[in-house]
Amino acid sequence: MLSLLLTVAVGVAVLVCTSLARQFRVAPPALLLLSGVLLGFVPALRSAHLPPEAVLLLFLPVLLYWESLTSSLREIRTNLRAIVLLSTVLVAATAAAAAATAHLLGMQWGPAWVLGAAVAPTDATAVGVLGRALPRRIATTLRAESLVNDGTALVIYALAVGVTLGEEHVGLATVSGRFALAYLGGIAVGLAATWLSVQVRRRLRDPFQHNVIALATPLAAYLVAEELEASGVLAVVVCGLWVGRTAPRLFPAEARQYVQTVMGFLTTLANAALFVLVGLEVQSAVRGLSTVGLAQALVAVVAVSAAVIGVRFAWLFTSPYVIRLIDRRPRQRELRLGARPRTVMAAAGFRGAVSLAAALAVPESLAGRDVIVFVTAGVIAVTLLVQAPLLPRIVRWARLTGDGAAERERHLAEVTALEEARDALPGLAGTVGAGGAVAGRLREEFDRRLEMLRADGPDGGDGARRQQEQDRELRLATLAHKRDTLVRLRDEGTIDDEVLRGIQTTLDFEEVQLRHHTYGDD
């Protein structure tokens, strides 16, 4: 009964908060987190908890897979050094700073390091949702950082818990071995799981089967990697990047569209539900606080939050200058970012469900567990309720605007693909057995399309753009008229409901394409 009530409550919260966020143009995670806190006041939901296994074994693999699947591998390669440093050295520095802060406030070193490891990584889901308005390079760097840094943080976390409970001994060989196993093992498992998945999917034509394997691949990769004590996070990220690279070439169009639709819906829903559940757990953390007073715990939240945010700002305003002293290549100069973009990156260090899942997974026997859970929940709340609403203002202050590279690349790709397809028409017509009249009509359509694209260009062409918009509106109007005609024929009993639905599916597909692809405009 509790599970059913929780499911309904979370669903209603997601529906209401996403609607309010769109209406008032605020960050959805902040409202979703607050709604979870409010749900915690409902007596029937007070005993509900977010199982850490649900995040680490169910939510996390699928969400990371989708984030990596939709990331730009080219941008990741270009900014690889910055991403590696952010996801390794910065994570370790953040964990150390948070641990030192907690120790100064009276926590023993062992639990302090557990806390530091829990709050060290940025959250991929929060960064993915809140960083959509950022320029492509910055958004990709932040997303890639949040995809990889969980692996570093979870290794530090496992070592801290093991040492505190007397199950691990810290030494150079131990630490280096754990990191090597985590990273190399995770990459190896990810490559193996993806190779197997691709071999199966390239032989399938049923979109449903493609979707089943798309959901099973990250879960299997994560579980196998964790069983081998490697990084399940890295295994999933490798899967997503590889599948994203090969999908356009190996999988049928219908399967790609089906997977994209289903995965897009599931991950969006899971993201939203996860923020509500985190908010619910924040309230639970307040009720579970027992070893210290609320005032002392709130001081710890403020201090640790300041340490986490401060270390990130310090890193982004010191490490670039060190790199500039070491690497003076012209290519490196092209990649330099000014102070304003780095301020945006520093302000986008959101924490989320992975941090809370790590805190909740702390064994009950570890001293100060309640404080670890409370402070971790508090840090998440600070980053989502304070930093997230400020980010749009910081972006405006930084005067960050798109460089137009994506639009220019899209325009170039459309023109080139259309030109080469037009030039190949005679040979293609012979291959499929089409007559000259059919090929001629298609060539005329291609020529008109090329004329409009060239007149418009990637950056201007108001006249051509108006013609394109008029063309789009006319096509949408004809689709609506077709749909009305089909409904009338169904109502008159001329055609069956199944016939209506079959044709309407095609019309709906055309409408979606027209509404989301306006001849090169986003």
Distance CA 281, CA 42 (A): 13
- Give 412's contacts (C-beta < 8 A, 6+ positions apart): 458
Mean pLDDT over residues 164-189, rounded? 85
**Tokens at 143, concatenated:** 């997303």
Please state, for a pLDDT cut of 70, what percent of the chain lies above it: 94
List pLDDT tens digits, range 448-507: 888 877 776 665 555 666 777 787 888 888 888 988 999 999 899 988 888 888 888 888
What residues form DSSP beta bridges with 521? 518
In which region does residue 106 sit, left (phi positive, over 0), alpha (psi from -120 to 50) or beta (all else)?
left
Q: Which amino acid is at 436?
A: G
Distance CA 119, CA 378 (A): 10
Of the pLDDT bands very low, low, confident and very high (cuts 50, 70, 90), residue 519 is very low
Distance CA 452, CA 384 (A): 45
Q: How far is CA 280 from CA 3, 267, 269, 286, 405, in A?
A: 14, 20, 17, 10, 42
List pLDDT tens digits, range 191-206: 999 999 999 999 998 9
pLDDT the model gives residue 522: 37
**Tokens at 386, concatenated:** 């304070």
Distance CA 389, CA 383 (A): 9
Distance CA 386, CA 79 (A): 28
Query: Does an H or E element contain 338, and which?
Result: none
DSSP state of 496: -
When the pLDDT of each residue in the chain is averaged and rounded to a whole number, the result is 87
Q: Which amino acid is at 444?
A: E
pLDDT the model gives residue 222: 95
Q: What phi and psi, each to the nearest 5 degrees, are found at residue 290?
A: -135, -30
Mean pLDDT over residues 216-240, rounded? 94
Residue 102: Cβ within 10 Å count: 27
Q: Which amino acid is at 222?
A: Y
Of the pLDDT bands very low, low, confident and very high (cuts 50, 70, 90), residue 136 is confident
Distance CA 264, CA 143 (A): 17
pLDDT the model gives residue 520: 39
CATH code at 2-403: 1.20.1530.20
Query: Does an H or E element contain 188, and which?
Result: helix 172-201
Using DSSP, state whether 127 is helix, strand or coil: helix
DSSP annotation string for 13-38: HHHHHHHHHHHHT--HHHHHHHHHHH
Q: What phi and psi, each to the nearest 5 degrees, are found at residue 521?
A: -95, 150
Query: Does an H or E element contain 366, and which?
Result: none
Greatest Cα pair distance in the chain: 84
pLDDT the model gives residue 461: 53
Mean pLDDT over residues 424-440, rounded? 86
- 152 and 92 Cβ atoms separated by less than 8 Å: yes
pLDDT the model gives residue 112: 96
> Which residue ranges make up each domain of the chain?
2-403, 405-460, 464-522
Distance CA 3, CA 48 (A): 8
- Give 155's contacts (C-beta < 8 A, 6+ positions apart): 178, 179, 182, 231
pLDDT the model gives residue 464: 62
Q: Between residues 383 and 470, which one has the greater pLDDT?
A: 383
Question: Nearest to residue 440, comparing CAs of 415, 422, 452, 420?
Answer: 422
Question: Nearest to residue 216, comparing CAs of 239, 199, 234, 233?
Answer: 239
Distance CA 352, CA 313 (A): 19
**Tokens at 79, concatenated:** 């900014």
List pLDDT tens digits, range 309-364: 999 999 999 998 888 888 877 777 777 888 999 999 999 999 988 899 999 999 98
Of the pLDDT bands very low, low, confident and very high (cuts 50, 70, 90), residue 171 is confident
Indicate the range of 16-20, 186-190, 422-426 predicted with least confidence: 422-426
Of the pLDDT bands very low, low, confident and very high (cuts 50, 70, 90), residue 139 is confident
- Give 206's contacts (C-beta < 8 A, 6+ positions apart): 255
Question: Nearest to residue 374, comparing CAs of 491, 284, 295, 438?
Answer: 284
* pLDDT tops 90 at residue 249: no
Of the pLDDT bands very low, low, confident and very high (cuts 50, 70, 90), residue 509 is confident
* Strand extents, DSSP E, 360-503: none
**Tokens at 375, concatenated:** 């402070």
Mean pLDDT over residues 249-276, rounded? 89
